[in-house]
Structure 1
Amino acid sequence: MPLDSPVRLGVQVQPEHAHYPAIRDAVLRLEELGADIVFNWDHFFPLHGDRDGLHFEAWTMLGAWAEQTERIEFGTLVSCNSYRNADLQADMARTLDHISAKGDGPGRFIFGTGAGWFERDYDEYGYEFGTPGSRLRDLADAMPRIRARWSKLNPAPTREIPVMIGGKGEQKTLRIVAEHADIWHSFVAPAELAHKLDVLARWGDEVGRDASEITVSNELDRRGLDVEHADALHAAGVRLFTVSVDGPEYDLGAVQRWLAWRDAKNG
């Protein structure tokens, strides 16, 4: 994405350790505050604290978010490709796209996806864990099927659904990003980004894609305002920044400070 593109802020509302009304309230407050995107995650158990604590499934929740919100974009940061058939994922995404369209406007769903990594999810829900390599091959195989299904569905999606792919592996993941993603999400440090973007550009050349069209996304610290780190990420090309909030309270104080930083960046 061109470096003069505006900064956007996404917030991951982690669906753990909270009853659903608290999650719903956090999403509504984030829209009121002016966040650009709200995300959940695609796991079946908490990742922090009590690993058997309160937790909710991602895609069912997204249907409620699509209906209850008016402006904010939304999605999963990121879905696990292993948990759902590729064509089913495409149909679910198209349906969320239509549910979230308000008036004559387009849908607001962002299709985040990745190869998966959390072994407990696989074991307890009966999915084959495989290897990092096999999961990445499955993701590479799924993306053309997803796009092909979008072209066949009636009604078609309201817009070209943006695809976000997470990960930083240079041999497989960044190739998939170059070929299929509109947004690349990672935890890469500012000093590493130039190299990773060079790898992404080379994969773009190989697959016939201008990788500079891909929005670069990265993480912010949810605990405070590390402006120096955020500024370094911005200087390296990041234009979508994400911060996480955890239940049960979903304190949005840090989010408000990051929104002010975003607005200052955008002038």
Structure 2
Amino acid sequence: MQATIDAARRLEDMGVDAVFGWDHFFPLSGDPDGVHFEATAQLAAWAVATERVQIGPLVFCNSYRNPDLLADVARTIDHISGGRFIFGIGGGWFERDYAEYGYDFGTVGSRLRALSESLPRIRDRWSKLNPPPMGPMPILIGGKGEQKTLPMVAEHADIWHSFVGPDELPHKLEVLRGHCEARGRDIDEIEISNGASVRDGVGGVGFDRLDALHAAGTRLLTIPLSGDDTPDGYALDRVQAFLDWRDAKNA
């Protein structure tokens, strides 16, 4: 746990915009039974340890918690962080999490229906909590499905996160635009987020993919980092190249 806290502090000092953690009970790479910690407690620790950077899950799994409880957890971490919390949520997908912790895995359709039912409850609970969230808490929704996920993005999200490539992204954005227009919403209200590969910009590969994603409208890019990168924790040296790329785009 201390390694993740130290990494969050170092990333803040480097100037990153946000630090995200995932909501799983086991590692998704490396040793499947390796060291791992629960997401909500870890995010609360980061909230205490940092001062400026935004923090959030990428993403909470809707299946693991009662939605009203999850709303309360998020509100509490938002206060711990001084209003820096991003509420990321998705339908869930990693079957081992469900099987070993006793949750019904269901189907993709049933998990997304449950997410659709939970989002209004979460927003309603925020309006009832005393005190409420410190400000309008950004909602990030992860996924790319055109029939179920993107309508939820159009209805509820401030940020849409996916791993859609630059060739497919324009089509997905047109679909999202249609869902927004059907709800009387401007798509420009939604920040477009995407996952960057660790290969981008490293080892001479260059930033062609990121340039293409940026040209298509992506403005938030996440970089995967693993605690297995070094014996002492997280190898953060590769982050600086991404920050330099970001700053050049914003110049």
Same fold (TM over 0.5): yes
Question: What per-residue deviation string (whole Å, max 9, x for no partner) do you get for residues 219-248 of structure 1?
Answer: 112244031111000000000011011013
Runs (4+) of structure 1 moved beyond 6 Å? none
Q: Find out whether 1:108 has 2:92 as its counterpart.
A: no
Cα distance, 1:22 vs. partner?
A: 1.2
CA distance in 2, matches of 1:141, 1:66: 28
TM-score normalized by the length of structure 2 = 0.95
CA contact (8 A) 1:80 1:114 kept: yes
- Structure showing greater relative contact order (alpha-carbon pairs closer than 8 Å, 6 or more residues apart): 1
Partner of residue 195, structure 2: 219
Equivalent residue in structure 1 for 2:239, among 255, 258, 263: 255
Alignment of 1:1-267 (within 5 A): 20-101=1-82, 107-225=83-201, 226-248=206-228, 249-267=233-251
Structure 1 residues 224 and 188: CA distance shift in structure 2, 3 A: closer
CA distance in 2, matches of 1:146, 1:21: 31
- Runs of at least 5 residues in structure 1 that lack an aligned partner in the other structure: 1-19, 102-106
TM-score normalized by the length of structure 1 = 0.89
CA RMSD of aligned residues (A): 0.9
Cα distance, 1:254 vs. partner?
A: 1.3
Partner of 1:191, secondary structure, is coil
Question: What per-residue deviation string (whole Å, max 9, x for no partner) do you get for residues 35-91 of structure 1?
Answer: 000011000001001101111111111111111100000001011000011101111
CA contact (8 A) 1:201 1:212 kept: no
Question: What per-residue deviation string (whole Å, max 9, x for no partner) do you get for residues 128-182 of structure 1?
Answer: 0000000000000000000000111111111010000000000000001110000
CA contact (8 A) 2:92 2:111 kept: yes
Give the fraction of aligned pairs with identical amino acids, expressed as a percent: 63
- Runs of at least 5 residues in structure 2 that lack an aligned partner in the other structure: none
CA contact (8 A) 1:73 1:108 kept: yes
